[in-house]
Amino acid sequence: MHPSFERPRRAPPGAEGGFTLIELLVAIALLSILAIMSWRGIDGMVRAQEQTRQRADSMLVIQSALAQWNADLDAILPLANTTPLDWDGQVLRITRRTTAVPDEGALVVAWTRREMPGVEGGGQWARWQSPPVRNRSDWQQAWQLAAQWARTPDEQARRYEISLVPISNWQLFYFRGGTWSNPLSSADQTPGTPAAGLPDGVRLQITLAPGQALTGAIVRDWANPTLGGGRT
């Protein structure tokens, strides 16, 4: 046969270039699995970073609230014919010095737990502060307004409050006579001699509300500086 009429030779099986359909499907399936695994890994990292950020933010808020709590107790101001510190089971009221320069007078501050409607077992730890008071009449009015704010606050009273930390419960204990006890069972404070009514220490115990970045109980002890003790 003439060379120009020879049939072209077929390449042996498997010698053609490219991929078969099955190979392409397998490759696509492997790429899909890798993409899903990569997405899950990235999603897990993002979630972990978000949880870390939320915990850090919550810790900063708690630390700021406890720092303000200590500052209020450190600044207790025993004035004649006034009450420097009072706990009635719902609200803690404090007469304290102001930090303003020049001195603008005393302040009345209050701490309480405010119920949060619609949140089971949840509440908000809140702080209230009066405008400066310069005489006993102003102090008496601010003292009564602090008690009213803790129970049935009106719009005017809420202007002076700050919501701090979600908590489900809080308790206070006084240190007197070498032991911690319920303040409501402690000796009554005597008007006119407020220093005698101050405990040697105050223990705060708060339980953080569930569902937050941080949960559990926090205990903070405060020692009366006039006794030469340090804060814990």
pLDDT in tens, the chain (232 residues): 555 555 555 555 555 556 687 877 777 878 878 777 777 766 667 677 777 777 788 889 999 999 999 999 999 998 888 899 999 999 999 999 988 767 778 999 999 998 876 555 678 999 999 999 999 999 999 999 999 999 888 888 888 999 898 999 999 999 988 999 998 874 444 444 344 478 999 999 999 988 777 888 999 999 988 765 444 4
Residue 133 in contact with residue 142, Cβ under 8 Å?
A: yes
- Look at residues 162, 213, 165 and name the one whose alpha carbon lies nearest to residue 66: 165
CA angle 221, 188, 198 (to 5 degrees): 40
Q: HSE-up of 21 (CA within 13 Å, CB side)?
A: 0
Angle at CA of residue 86, ends 178 and 62, nearest 5°: 85
Report the b/e string of 144-171 with b at 16+ CB within 10 A: ebbbebbeebeeebeebbeebbbbbebe
The neighbouring-strand residues paired with 129 are 109
Spatial contact of 96 and 75, defined as CB atoms under 8 Å apart? yes
pLDDT confidence of residue 193: 39
pLDDT at residue number 185 = 76
Token pair 């240190």 is found at 175
Amino acid (1-letter code) at residue 214: L
Q: Give residue 118's pLDDT.
A: 58
**Which pLDDT score, from 0 to 100, does residue 25 have?**
79
Alpha carbon distance 1, 113 (integer Å)? 107
Q: 131 preceded by cis ω (within 30°)?
A: no
Domain boundaries, the chain: 53-223
- Per-residue burial over 104-132, b = 16 or more CB atoms within 10 Å of its CB, e = otherwise: ebbbbbbbbbeeeeeeeebbbbbbbbbee
Q: Provide the pLDDT for residue 7.
A: 55
What pTM value is reported for the model? 0.72
Q: What's the rounded Cα separation, in Å, for the pair 223 and 202?
A: 7
What per-residue confidence (pLDDT) applies to 4? 52
